[in-house]
Structure 1
Amino acid sequence: MLEFALLLLPDFLLIALGFVICRHTALDRSVWSGVERLVYWLLFPVLLFTAIVRQPLALDTTLKLGLGGTAVVGLGFVLATALGRVPGVPSRLQASGAQVAFRFNSYVGLALAERLGGSASVASIAVLIALCVPLCNLGAVWSLARHGRHDTWRELLHNPLILATVAGLLANLAGLRLPEPVAVTLARIGAAALPLGLMAVGAGLEFGGLQQAPRLAAALLAIRHLALPAAGLAIGLLWALPRGQAQMLAAFAALPTASSCYVLAARMGGDGPYTAGLVTASTLLGMASVPVTMALFGWLHPA
């Protein structure tokens, strides 16, 4: 269990580094606002596009796995949206934080897959990422656009994360292979997304943010780290997925939320500090939920 916890430690350290740099150096909040825009409009979209294009998608042989992943994401979306109907829940905070309940950190997922099962597991997690990233981004943009009285469809059609994901899927399915210089250039641009995105989370962090609505935060984090891992384990059993795919579905369901939740909330007029607090809390909880879920998987699926 310790090795899985250590896998998440670098993400949290980058968040902490962003917080320290923003609060205690000349690189203050004015600098990090520009970094957020750079990550949102360029770095994350390039990373999503290149990650999807370079992974082979054998959708015909992984249909049940893909459906399982969409079911997990869908459950998180439904439960998080339902919280908005609970009396007394602040609508702006719910709209900002709902995405934390159903989005996932794909970078941690890819690293975890490589450690668990090598290339076969990476191929499985790539299918889940390719199918679920568009759904997660649609759900997140819809929640924020609806609350902010934006034109939801306009926001969806202009969202760089959704556009990059759709473009990556179409390019992959069309068999597009980028020229080596282009592929290397895009890979280097995308490689900057993770560290800068995580540090931007830390730079925008206000530890008092979660105190605005602690019960809502607890509910959203319980969906992300209790309900969804339980659903991933159950689907793998009930649908009789092959052991390797069932393991990847369980790991996928237990991942911490996406670091870009804060960037999206901040860019669409949501509550950035509250979302940043949720992302940090989810990263910490992920250091427990992933090892525990993997231990439960081993008990349910003995080798």
Structure 2
Amino acid sequence: MHLVQLLLPDFSLILCGYLVCRYTALNRKVWEQVESLVYYFLFPVLLFQSIVRSPLDLGGASSMMAAGLLLGVSGIGLAYALPHLPGLARLIDAREHAGAAQVAFRFNSFIALALSERLAGPRGLLLIAVLIGVCVPLFNVGAVWPMARHGGIGFGRALLRNPLIIATALGLAANFAGLRVPAFLEPSVNRVGGASLPLGLMAAGAGMQLGHLAQQKALTVGLLAIRHLLLPLVAALLAWALRLDGAQTLVLLVFSALPTASSCYVLASRMGYNGPYVAGLVTLSTLLGMASLPFALGVLGRGG
């Protein structure tokens, strides 16, 4: 496995966005428009197409779905509990936590799809599609709720107006109804969705200010420890408890140790939170994925 090669393009795009924003005429005003394009159009198209691409077999994939949902609930619960742990309440700013909590449980879908196909072939793609289908709605709601609550925005209103959640709901509805993107439109839809990944990562780099990470050391360490250490451990326990087979265990471990979603930055920024801080977390998470994926697959996978 060449995990470094797989993660290097994402990190390179973040670095590229950082350099372009600071050393060319394409400054923050330009990248704010890019963020809007990614958030309101490109990412929703990617989510919709990712969910409708493969039929979800609710019966045959029940164990995998249960594992994904339990892993997701564990990640959300740990992220929400972080400021309430003994000794951390005075070290973690509530507003910063609301905007950044999503980093602990959301995932980079591009790396998920690429790794699952490389490691487990067509079945790996089907299994990761199941996890994306059941976990993306949960994770999007989990990401929006603390920001809506802390910002005084009605939760229902925030969900109904969030383009990522709208796209997820429409994708699930289309999948369960047996609808697919017509073959003649699929190449265009794939290109639109694919554009969201490089632009989202470059926008994260453009908004990145690593100095913000030092201001919230406890929050930074806590969220990244959940994402890259605790969730792989939970995944290994779930695979054992639910008696998942080899391919299911492999994909679940990959899913648990992925870098966080690049759209975390766009969501936090568009909802009025500290985008530069979240962009720094996305960057660090991409780097930490080079350690957490070998840990999950090499140490925990072999142990299982």
**What's the offset of the Cα at 1:141?**
0.5
What residue in structure 1 maps to residue 181 of structure 2?
178
Letter in 2 for 1:225: H
What residue in structure 1 maps to residue 25 of structure 2?
26
Q: CA separation in 2, counterparts of 1:298 and 1:36? A: 37
**What's the offset of the Cα at 1:178?**
2.5
**What's the offset of the Cα at 1:241?**
0.5
Deviations 1:53-73 (A, max 9, x none): 111212211111111111111
SS state at 2:25 partner = coil
Map 1:70-149; keep pairs closer than 5 Å.
Answer: 70-85=69-84, 86-88=88-90, 89-149=92-152
Q: CA separation in 2, counterparts of 1:63 and 1:296? A: 26
- Would you say the 8 A contact 1:36–1:200 is kept in 2? yes
SS state at 2:244 partner = coil
**What's the offset of the Cα at 1:183?**
2.1
Deviations 1:195-242 (A, max 9, x none): 000000000001101011111100111011111000011111121111
In structure 2, which of residues 259, 269, 272 is the aligned counterpart of residue 269 of structure 1? 272
**What's the offset of the Cα at 1:83?**
1.8
- Would you say the 8 A contact 2:236–2:301 is kept in 1? no
What residue in structure 1 maps to residue 14 of structure 2?
15
**What's the offset of the Cα at 1:144?**
0.7
**What's the offset of the Cα at 1:5?**
2.4
Letter in 1 for 2:68: G
SS state at 2:185 partner = helix
Matched, 1:168 2:168: no
Unaligned runs of 5+ in 1: none
What residue in structure 2 maps to residue 238 of structure 1?
241
Q: CA separation in 2, counterparts of 1:297 and 1:215? A: 26
Letter in 2 for 1:87: A
Letter in 2 for 1:82: A
- Would you say the 8 A contact 2:18–2:206 is kept in 1? yes
Letter in 2 for 1:120: R
Unaligned runs of 5+ in 2: none
**What's the offset of the Cα at 1:300?**
2.3
- Would you say the 8 A contact 1:247–1:297 is kept in 2? no
- Alignment TM-score, normalising by the size of structure 2: 0.96
What residue in structure 2 maps to residue 48 of structure 1?
47
Q: CA separation in 2, counterparts of 1:103 and 1:68? A: 16
**What's the offset of the Cα at 1:184?**
2.3
**What's the offset of the Cα at 1:278?**
0.8
Q: CA separation in 1, counterparts of 2:250 and 2:167? A: 28
SS state at 1:131 partner = helix
Map 1:203-282; keep pairs closer than 5 Å.
Answer: 203-282=206-285
Q: CA separation in 1, counterparts of 2:72 and 2:57? A: 20
- Would you say the 8 A contact 2:14–2:201 is kept in 1? yes
Q: CA separation in 1, counterparts of 2:298 and 2:213? A: 30
Letter in 1 for 2:274: D
Letter in 2 for 1:243: G
Q: Give the aligned length.
A: 300
Letter in 1 for 2:9: P
- Would you say the 8 A contact 1:15–1:280 is kept in 2? yes
How well do the aligned residues superpose, as a CA RMSD in angstroms?
1.1
**What's the offset of the Cα at 1:298?**
3.8
Q: CA separation in 1, counterparts of 2:227 and 2:293? A: 11
Deviations 1:61-91 (A, max 9, x none): 1111111111111111111111233421201
Deviations 1:139-165 (A, max 9, x none): 110011111111111001111101101
- Alignment TM-score, normalising by the size of structure 1: 0.96
Q: CA separation in 2, counterparts of 1:188 and 1:276? A: 24
- Would you say the 8 A contact 2:79–2:101 is kept in 1? yes
Q: CA separation in 2, counterparts of 1:211 and 1:292? A: 26
Same amino acid, percent of matched pairs = 53
- Would you say the 8 A contact 1:98–1:220 is kept in 2? yes
Q: CA separation in 1, counterparts of 2:62 and 2:107? A: 20
Letter in 2 for 1:176: L
Matched, 1:286 2:285: no
Q: CA separation in 1, counterparts of 2:269 and 2:67? A: 31
